[in-house]
Amino acid sequence: MLHSFATKTIHLLIDWLIALLGIVLILWFGFTLPSFSLSKSNEKNSSLNIQQSDLKNHVEALSNYYAPRTIEYGNLNVTASYIHTEFAKYGNAQYQPYWTLASRYKNVLLELGPKTKEMLVIGAHYDAKNGSLDIDGNASGVSALIELAHQLSKNEDKLSIAVQLVAYPLSQKKSVSIENMGSYQHARQLSEAGKSVKLMLSLDSVGSFTDENESQKYPYKFMHHIYPDIGNYISLVGRLQDYSEILKLKKSFKQASKLPMHSFSIPTSYTSNSVDHLNYQRYGFPAMMITDTAEYRVFEDDKDELVERLDYKKMSMLVEGLYQVVLDNKSPEIAVELVQISPNAEFSLKVDEN
């Protein structure tokens, strides 16, 4: 009888362990959304010829000549002019001006590809926080955005969907209200114009990488058990309900880039309200953030932020992956009629060369 009781107890414990393991696997899969491939990166974009020096030059310009990029120092509009000049090399760059109680600010836009009913939006904020150089967040994101514009413009005939690249002011925490953020203004105008956004990606700090052991930290302890402890990867942050878009993006990215990518599928309530991609979600557009999670990475030389510390090779790999993501997105229907835009929206979308 004792033997029978012990056997039943063991079987019960095994059942509970199996159930617990199943729950853990479900949570792990739901949180990380791993993508599996039988083949390695096939280097589809080896012909892009991305120059790491170009990425570095943009970071240096934004950090040395236009910093501090904050409301207090008044450098945001001259920074917008720099980005507009770079975008204009690759297409019809436009300003999207808007007013706040303090002053007038500008989003900078470049649209490439065919005129389709759906579009992709890829953005990066160009302001910095606390008067710092803020090289990685977000001179790195703007630099990658400009280089992506360069590569897409060279191969515009290959695009099957409209792509709008946009750089924003006023995105840093505690600096402005949500309604004054450049990303909020852009998302609002897209919504008012009746535009359909297939996917929005925000590049927010994308240049800090390290191969040192235990260099990657996390806000919650359990994350150490499911993510790497080396900060040499790029993160994709999205919502639980956007799992399909996350899987598709990771698949496309891995086809063309050797840069490791890990995804975080989290409820919106766990994300800061000042993050740009959330403003698109507020208007019903699927949106995600791509980031190096620099604030959770530990570097051997952790002195003042230097242009030389950024990893321009990995930034070029990021651009390769993003290029493939754009290439793999298709919108079968061409826009055949113009959407009526309200007078306010028309003003904010007009070209402003001043």
- Tell me the per-residue pLDDT of 264-316, one tens digit each, with 9 for 90 and over: 886 665 556 568 999 999 999 999 999 998 888 877 665 555 688 899 999 99
Q: For 142-249, list the strands marked E by DSSP.
A: 162-168, 196-203, 234-238
Round to whole Å and give the CA distance between 44 and 40.
Answer: 11
Confidence of residue 131 (pLDDT cuts 50, 70, 90): low
Q: What is the mean pLDDT of the chain?
A: 82
pLDDT tens per residue across span 222-232: 888 888 999 99
Confidence of residue 350 (pLDDT cuts 50, 70, 90): very low
Round to whole Å and give the CA distance between 285 and 291.
Answer: 19
Domains observed in the chain: 33-349 (3.40.630.10)
Output the CA angle 78-80-84, nearest 5 degrees. 115
Round to whole Å and give the CA distance between 276 and 272.
Answer: 9
Closest to 289 measured CA to CA, from 176, 174, 171? 171
- Which pLDDT belongs to residue 100? 87
- Which pLDDT belongs to residue 352? 39
Residue with the larger pLDDT of the pair 292 and 337: 292
State the pTM of this model: 0.82
Q: In which region does residue 43 sit, left (phi positive, over 0), alpha (psi from -120 to 50) or beta (all else)? A: left
Contact in structure between 226 and 28 (CB atoms under 8 Å): yes
H/E element holding 327?
helix 312-328
Confidence of residue 339 (pLDDT cuts 50, 70, 90): very low
Is residue 166 pLDDT above 70, yes or no? yes
pLDDT tens per residue across span 188-198: 999 999 999 99
Contact in structure between 256 and 41 (CB atoms under 8 Å): yes
φ, ψ (nearest 5 deg) of residue 116: -105, 160
- Which pLDDT belongs to residue 342? 42
Residues with Cβ within 8 Å of 144's Cβ and at least 6 positions away in sequence, in order, are 55, 124, 203, 206, 207, 315, 318, 319, 322
> Scanning the structure block, which residue is given the tokens 């919106």?
268
- Which pLDDT belongs to residue 272? 60
C-alpha separations of 162 from 75, 152, 238, 245 in Å: 31, 11, 22, 17
Is residue 133 pLDDT above 90, yes or no? no
Half-sphere exposure (Cβ direction) of 156: Cα atoms closer than 13 Å:
15
pLDDT tens per residue across span 75-125: 899 999 999 999 999 999 999 999 988 789 999 999 999 999 999 999 999
Confidence of residue 336 (pLDDT cuts 50, 70, 90): very low
Q: For 245-296, list the strands marked E by DSSP.
A: 261-265, 287-291
The top-scoring range by mean pLDDT among 1-10, 17-26, 70-79, 160-169 is: 160-169
- Which pLDDT belongs to residue 222? 80
